[in-house]
Structure 1
């Protein structure tokens, strides 16, 4: 009689690591959160839409006169850019901000869209163009794929 024994312990160990990763993706979501945090940082630095790469709409002359400068566009106080937070957990990676006016800059707003002041003036007093700082462009997709692949290789390789 011939007996053949196959040592499956390396495969067993790999399968166990895959099961563990399925229950807690933190080894992947942690580096992904870092990549996602870099996207708005680059958008603010380059004053460009992270999805299309198009430059943000310039400030209107009245805004430039009021501020005394035309640049940087969304960084007068630095509050918005500084509010971007990366978060991750066992099943998510995201970037957030808690600044109440962030959606107005991300999506834009029409004159009067938010109602009127006590004196009857429109809020906002003029149209605000969208100046997107959250979003994923083609280069970001490639970085996300590379980061995910590297994290999976490190984790599944037992490192």
Structure 2
């Protein structure tokens, strides 16, 4: 994926890391489960695009007035042609899951480009706001491997 992807260390999401560690120790093949998680993350990211919110639930910075004029009054953020949202994809193997876009400008919008006055509008990542990606991903892992959820 040449455009933009980010690495989320599952160690930062303790429940996910614990389940993945158990599955690896059991010799489980992770690609089917990681593919299902990839599908979930693509859909969750596309939903956030519609709401124009970052993974933490904060609203994206509004467009500058000159940008709105250039777009003939269109105030939708990062969706003028919907190319970026339509190119969100995943690549799963037994060792890793990559989620991102192959568009070169994807990183510019994720991280911003201060020299050109483009603010960061984080669109890629695990949610911590209104959605709970850690819980959803853990549920997918447990469901996939038919394990009972502890403390649920």
- Asked if Structure 1 and Structure 2 have the same fold, meaning a TM-score greater than 0.5 normalized by the shorter chain, the answer is yes
- Report how many residues are paired: 122
Partner in structure 1 of residue 138 of structure 2 = 145
> CA separation of 1:21/1:90 partners in 2, compared to 1, >3 Å: closer, same or farther?
farther
Q: Is the 8 A contact 1:39 1:134 kept in 2?
A: no
Partner in structure 2 of residue 109 of structure 1 = 113
Q: How far, CA to CA, are the matches of 1:105 and 1:21 in structure 2? A: 40
Q: How far, CA to CA, are the matches of 1:33 and 1:22 in structure 2? A: 21
Aligned counterpart for 2:27 among listed residues 10, 19, 22: 22
Q: Which has the larger radius of gyration?
A: 1
Partner in structure 1 of residue 75 of structure 2 = 71
1:130 aligned to 2:144?
A: no
- Structure 1 gap segments, 5+ residues each: 1-17, 112-125, 155-159
1:32 aligned to 2:46?
A: no
- Structure 2 gap segments, 5+ residues each: 1-22, 148-152
SS in 2 for 1:94: strand
Greater RCO (Cα-Cα under 8 Å, separation 6 or more): 2
> CA separation of 1:48/1:92 partners in 2, compared to 1, >3 Å: closer, same or farther?
same
Q: Is the 8 A contact 2:74 2:80 kept in 1?
A: no
> CA separation of 1:19/1:33 partners in 2, compared to 1, >3 Å: closer, same or farther?
closer
